[in-house]
Amino acid sequence: MFYNSLKIFCKKFSILWKFLVWFKNCLIDLSRLKDVLMMMILLHVWPEQIYRFSTRKFLPSKKNKFSKHSRPTIPYELLKSKSSAIERMKEINIIGRGGSFDINNLKKIRGPIFLVGFWTPLKTDNNGNVFYSSKLASKWGIDIKEKSWVANINEKTDPKSLKEIKNENITYINSNKKNVELFIKNGHNVLFSRTYVTDKNGNPYPMQKIWLKSENTSFIDHKQCKLISISEKILKHPLLPPHPFWVQTGSFIPAICSLIFFADKINIYGWDFFLGSSPEKMSYWKLFFSMYNYTADKARSRTHFEEALVNFYYGYQFSKLPNVKIHGYMGQLSKHEKLIKKIEKVFFN
């Protein structure tokens, strides 16, 4: 009798607990949506104050802004003494996972290829078709939240029938220690991109949490892996609480800025930042509302709109550099200078 009563109580408590968790998540989601709505409004009426509604304080207050006239063109500085010796390259290709680039066209690309945001190696079937799916990440030993994202793979594809593509011209850019080690173990080339920020005493220290206690890079001491260290200069440091000590940019901007110091010309593909079509075909308001994606925001720690502001701004700026050609959607923002000017007031005085 006691056992049955306990069982019923536990079942009811479990249901209640699930409801409380659901209710708490709903409140968090509503609070975030309120913040995003306020940021969207302020971007048009008072962009200098938008930072007040950044949920995780990733946007700068006035004291952490550069002047728009003195902002660095390349918002990162190369730390040569903390980087591997890398020979200068004439022309390179940086490729992301955006839908504007068909991963099968990889076979048409000539010269060094650097893949950004790929958590597992590319694979191929017997017909030479190229596949990538982060659904396979957990099976490969990587624990990531983005397992729902799939590119060029369908239900009829048997993952066991695919073979890893190993090409000496392909290098995976990554800043996750475990992932880097797995790429090396499986015979792939890796570029470890490490970002530094500046502390309150003016000293650089690495952003990645795995480096906060040690700068040991012994696992990188391998012929297949190179290290590039860069110091972030988007905002004036130090960034003090309640602001995080780094800028939430996503992986593409640091990847471009890591390689721009070592290449005469850069071609960029698949940098879309979640856009489904070209900004050239969008009206101002359609593009503006495309900057927020609720599903992506939830999966990306409630910083999606803030990251969109950074990516749109630097996509526009980088597309104007003579040695950079952006084929993805972030390079097709030229007709939306009005929006870019508003974003500039968010980050610069």
Q: Give the bridge partners for 196, in sequence order.
A: 206, 231
Buried b (16+ CB within 10 A) or exposed e, 117-154: bbbbbbbeeeeeebbbbbebbeeeebeeeebebebbbe
Question: What is the Cα–Cα distance from 51 to 65, expressed in whole angstroms?
Answer: 11
Average pLDDT, rounded, for the chain: 85
Helix pair 304-318, 252-259: axis angle to 10 deg: 30
Please report which confidence band the pLDDT of residue 271 belongs to, taking 50, 70 and 90 as the band edges: very high
Q: Identify any residues that bridge with 93 across adjacent strands, giving them in sequence order.
A: 113, 267
Q: Alpha helix (H) ranges present in 119-188?
A: 137-140, 177-185
**Number of residues written out for the chain:** 349
- pLDDT of amino acid 210: 44
> According to the model, what pLDDT value does residue 36 have?
96
Query: Residue 27: pLDDT band by 50, 70, 90 thresholds?
Result: confident
Tell me the whole-structure pTM to 2 decimals.
0.87
Rounded to an integer, what distance in angstroms lies between the CA atom of residue 14 and that of residue 12?
A: 5
Q: Write out pLDDT tens, residues 35-47.
A: 999 999 999 999 9
Residue with the larger pLDDT of the pair 272 and 4: 272
Give pLDDT, residue 146.
39
| pLDDT band, very low/low/confident/very high, at 140 (cuts 50, 70, 90) | very low
The model's confidence at residue 211, banded by pLDDT at 50, 70 and 90, is very low
Helices and strands, counts by H and E, the chain: 8, 13
pLDDT at residue 8 greater than cutoff 80: no
Give the pLDDT confidence score for residue 326 in this predicted structure: 97
pLDDT of residue 147: 37
Confidence of residue 119 (pLDDT cuts 50, 70, 90): confident
d(Cα 191, Cα 177) in Å, to the nearest integer?
11
Q: What is the mean pLDDT of residues 56-75?
A: 92
Query: Could you count the other beta carbons within 10 Å of the beta carbon of residue 236?
Result: 15
> Residue 116: what are its φ and ψ, rounded to 5°?
-110, 130
The whole-number pLDDT of residue 144 equals 39
Name 118's Cβ contacts closer than 8 Å, sequence gap at least 6: 97, 132, 172
Listed range (27-36, 118-127, 337-346) with the worst mean pLDDT: 118-127
| Strands 150-151, 130-133: pairing kind | antiparallel
Confidence of residue 283 (pLDDT cuts 50, 70, 90): very high
State the pLDDT at residue 246. 81
Cα 97 to Cα 115: distance, rounded to the nearest angstrom: 8
Q: 328 pLDDT band (50/70/90 cuts)? A: very high
pLDDT of the residue at 125: 83
pLDDT higher than threshold 50 for residue 148: no
Quick one: what percent of the chain has pLDDT higher than 70? 84
pLDDT tens-digit readout, 216-251: 566 676 788 999 999 999 998 888 888 888 888 989
Q: What pLDDT does residue 1 have?
A: 59
